[in-house]
Chains A and B, each alone.
Chain A
């Protein structure tokens, strides 16, 4: 078996970019993948995958109580009803914000995140300071880092996404949004509101 040294050695930007090119070119030469295939995945993850699908799911849940019940019972199944699913969405759990509870999601060890509904996580979600602080002092972290002041009477629950369970948040429907269409409602739902570091926009 080939050994690879796990100990990190300092690399310059140039060095690491060259290493990435080296990995890609070797794998292409071995016929394991094509450059066009890598280009396609890069295109998908840079431009096509994002939190819009999650916003559609939440908007539907806001106006359809039966769907919301199914979503909270089994998010993977409920998303599949809408044709949404795939890699990193095999077992998703949606947790609902209520007047008494605010939910926040973190991956305490790395970056586990429900790609099919939220796209790829922002870099801050993967950063050590977020992973550390949101667990130790969630209320302060939300207030100081995200300017989200959760009233003391509301409980904050922090959920740990991992490779087996990926959590995401159903934010509360804002007041004044009665009668809005699903698409208009989806426009109120931000990525951060589905991570729990923000709220849905006001109508």
Chain B
């Protein structure tokens, strides 16, 4: 547990005042990884308690490794990603190498790489008068 300082309290007040944190998800990837975790659990790849334990471990490890972290550094769903990687690896469903390679490929292949922006219509079906 982090020692409570004024900074700590201020962080929570700021999060709440700015209306941040009222939603369950701030970013699309957060919802996506959560849905993937539930889908994997639903498919019988692991039980939710095992995932929860890995999540608790991921958070504890991260907080221990970053004793001076601020709330800006903190993202709950990054720990969800870590926890999911851990339980899937434990069941031989994912490997770090495979994951690193795939993520690199995705980063190197923007979705619209081959799609050139055009200012004119690409097809015109002429009116018949």
Closest chain B CB from A119 CB (angstroms) = 7
* Contact indicator per residue, chain A 105-147, by CB within 8 Å of chain B (1) or not (0): 0001111100000011111101111111101110011001110
Query: What is the total number of residues of chain A having a CB less than 8 Å from a CB of chain B?
Result: 65
- Inter-chain CA distance A145–B81, complex, in Å, is 29
Secondary structure call for the B interface? helix
Question: Do B33 and A20 touch (CB < 8 A)?
Answer: yes
With contact pairs A23-B99, A45-B38, A144-B13 given, residues A123 and B76 touching in the complex (Cβ less than 8 Å) = yes
Closest chain A CB from B101 CB (angstroms) = 8
- Inter-chain CA distance A32–B41, complex, in Å, is 10
- Inter-chain CA distance A19–B92, complex, in Å, is 18
Question: Do A141 and B36 touch (CB < 8 A)?
Answer: no
* Contact indicator per residue, chain A 76-116, by CB within 8 Å of chain B (1) or not (0): 00000000000110000000000000000000111110000
Question: Do B107 and A37 touch (CB < 8 A)?
Answer: no
Confirm or deny: B65 has a beta carbon within 8 angstroms of a beta carbon on chain A. Answer: yes
Closest chain A CB from B41 CB (angstroms) = 8
30 A-B pairs (CB sep. < 8 Å) = A4-B86, A4-B94, A6-B61, A7-B65, A14-B107, A17-B27, A18-B103, A20-B33, A21-B32, A22-B103, A23-B88, A23-B99, A26-B99, A27-B93, A33-B43, A41-B35, A46-B31, A88-B48, A111-B76, A119-B24, A123-B21, A124-B12, A127-B11, A127-B12, A127-B74, A129-B11, A133-B9, A136-B4, A144-B13, A145-B9
Which B residues have a C-beta under 8 Å from some C-beta of A?
A: 1-4, 8-9, 11-13, 15-16, 20-29, 31-36, 38-43, 45, 48-49, 52-53, 55-63, 65-66, 69, 71, 74, 76, 78-79, 81-82, 84-86, 88-90, 92-96, 98-99, 102-107
Given contacts A23-B84, A32-B40, A163-B52, 8 further A-B contacts (CB under 8 A): A15-B107, A24-B32, A26-B99, A27-B39, A46-B25, A124-B15, A145-B12, A146-B16
